[in-house]
């Protein structure tokens, strides 16, 4: 029980520290992926990011380590991080989606501050909060698998959590950027119907914008996630100790 509580609290606090510190880069990434001008660093929508940080990060780490404890005797060690990351990523994605929709719509300037939930309910109904859920799951699960497997492997080299987190985060961000672009377009579609599902959106972006279209914001995302991975895992291990 003590371990479960420490994983929950440490994961939640690490998520808050990471999201607040690097939030302006997240805004830049969203605007680039949405083909909107980036004029300055901004904390627009940070309330929604921080509102999701603790429950999502706490849920991921709690689920990850809970699955690890349950499956440790049944799976080979090489496969364990993969399966646990799938479980943790899928669980936290469901909680994250409504916050992510609100955050990105504020970032893009569609709505302001606390009015966004009311606007979404009025125009799209409750289902509007789960726009792009499939794309978020498709992004989060591979991202978490690559990141956690890389992190577990890096830990065997006995470096430190900050460095391990940076490498793991950068690798995961690089390979999942195309699905992140799709997620952004779906969440900002606001019921217009331009983007309908993961496959249709991916094909539409490729057709209209070419190969580079699905990699928009990739450099910002890799830099953001390298730094974020270092802060996230470094903070997680630090908070877990205390």
- What does the pLDDT look like over 211-233, one tens digit per residue? 999 999 999 999 999 999 999 89
Query: Is 60 exceeded by the pLDDT of residue 2?
Result: no
73: its two tokens: 């005797």
Give the C-alpha separation, 127 to 121, whole Å.
Answer: 8
Query: Is 80 exceeded by the pLDDT of residue 3?
Result: no
pTM as predicted: 0.84
* Integer angstrom CA distances of residue 73 from 67, 87, 156: 11, 17, 20
Core vs surface per residue 171-203: b (16+ CB within 10 A) or e? bbbbebbbbbbbbbbbbbbbeeeebeebeebbe
Average pLDDT of span 123-150: 92
- What does the pLDDT look like over 33-74, one tens digit per residue? 999 988 777 888 899 999 998 899 889 988 998 999 999 989
Contact indicator for 97, 55 with CB cutoff of 8 Å = no
Q: What are phi and psi of 211, to 5 degrees?
A: -60, -35
- Pick 42 or 170 by higher pLDDT: 170
Place 1 in a pLDDT band, splitting at 50, 70 and 90: very low
Give the C-alpha separation, 242 to 239, whole Å.
Answer: 5
Give one word for 42, left, alpha or beta, with left for phi > 0 and alpha for psi -120 to 50.
beta
């Amino acid at each position: 029980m003590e371990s479960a509580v420490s994983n929950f609290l440490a994961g939640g606090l690490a998520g808050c520290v990471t999201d607040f510190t690097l939030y302006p880069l997240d805004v830049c990434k969203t605007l680039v992926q949405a083909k909107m001008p980036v004029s300055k660093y901004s904390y627009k929508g940070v309330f929604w990011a921080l509102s999701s940080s603790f429950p999502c990060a706490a849920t991921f780490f709690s689920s990850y380590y809970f699955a690890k404890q349950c499956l440790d005797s049944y799976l080979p060690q090489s496969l364990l991080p993969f399966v646990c990351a799938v479980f943790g990523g899928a669980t936290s994605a469901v909680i994250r989606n409504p916050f992510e929709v609100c955050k990105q719509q504020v970032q893009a300037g569609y709505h302001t501050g606390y009015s966004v939930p009311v606007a979404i309910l009025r125009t799209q109904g409750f289902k509007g909060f789960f726009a792009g859920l499939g794309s978020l799951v498709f992004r989060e699960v591979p991202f978490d698998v690559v990141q956690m497997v890389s992190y577990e492997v890096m830990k065997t080299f006995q470096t430190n959590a900050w460095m391990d987190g940076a490498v793991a985060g950068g690798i995961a961000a690089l390979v999942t950027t195309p699905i992140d672009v799709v997620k952004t377009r779906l969440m900002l579609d606001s019921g217009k119907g331009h983007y309908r599902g993961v496959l249709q959106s991916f094909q539409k972006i490729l057709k209209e914008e070419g190969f580079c279209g699905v990699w928009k914001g990739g450099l910002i995302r890799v830099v953001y996630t390298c730094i974020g991975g270092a802060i996230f895992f470094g903070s997680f291990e630090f908070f877990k100790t205390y």
